[in-house]
Chain A
Amino acid sequence: MVTVTAEFIENYYLIIINGEVDASSSIHLDKAFQEAVQSGYKKILVDCKNLQYISSAGLGVFISYIDEIESKNIKLVLFNMSEKVYKVFEILGLHKILSITDTEEKAKVLTDEL
């Protein structure tokens, strides 16, 4: 089960993921991502503090939007990720492709720099 919330803070689009993203629940993350990418916002932050688990179906959501994010010049940063979830991104080398940092403040600075 996962719930995904969108919050708008000035010019940042904040996605908050709560719960476990697997083959049955990744559709909810996908829908949230689609809305974010199509919103017109150029800075998307993803709060992973309560992301307890992610499988390839969830990673697939991130992967499938990388091209669109680049072509639309959107800056995407993930933050607050637990060690065990970060390791899953690392297994596939996604930590080198996606921007991942520890705090919301650093994530905001990163979207300004990217």
Chain B
Amino acid sequence: MNYKFKVGCSKNKLQSIRQFIQQTLDNYSISEVDKCQLVLAVDEMCANLMIHSHHCNAEKKLELSITIENDEGITFEIFDQGKAFNILEYKDPQLEHIIKQKRKGGLGILLVKRIMDLIEFDYDANKKLNVCRLHKFIPIKEQKE
């Protein structure tokens, strides 16, 4: 099953992204803790793209796609037209350094890496869009009424 959501690059839209994921996952048997962590990983990635690739320009759009396959788990894809993020340039920060430097940011991607099983950055030549793919291997079944 596939679900899609389109939103402007404004940080106050993050709540609607979380709501969309939450409502989508409510149809599936998945624990509250797992659900919260998947929501968190996508929220972090979208916040990063909004801030760093689009400078919070609400005119620019992000498209989120959720694909759920019973045997494979769950895949989130975030499509955008911003400056591509190079994950190879990202080095895991040390928590002690962040504490010493009194930094308020810099841990979002680390959270994504610890929650998700696969993170890919790609270019979709058909759609002419960047795509960030996050995958979690997790047993997931549609909830029976």
Contacts and interface: CB of A to CB of B under 8 A. Distances in A.
Contact of B95 (A24, A84, A92): A92
B40 A64 contact: no
Interface stretch (A7-15, A39-47, A51-59): A51-59
Contacts of A63: 95, 98-99, 103-104, 107
Contact of A93 (B35, B37, B95, B102): B95
Q: Which label, helix, strand, loop or mixed, suits the secondary structure of the A interface?
A: helix
B120 interface: no
Contacts, number: 93
Nearest to A26: B104
A104 interface: no
19 contacts: A20-B15, A23-B11, A23-B51, A24-B11, A24-B15, A55-B14, A55-B108, A56-B44, A60-B103, A60-B105, A64-B103, A65-B102, A83-B33, A87-B37, A91-B114, A92-B107, A92-B110, A97-B95, A97-B99
Interface of A: 1, 20, 22-24, 26, 30, 53, 55-57, 59-61, 63-68, 83-85, 87-88, 91-94, 97
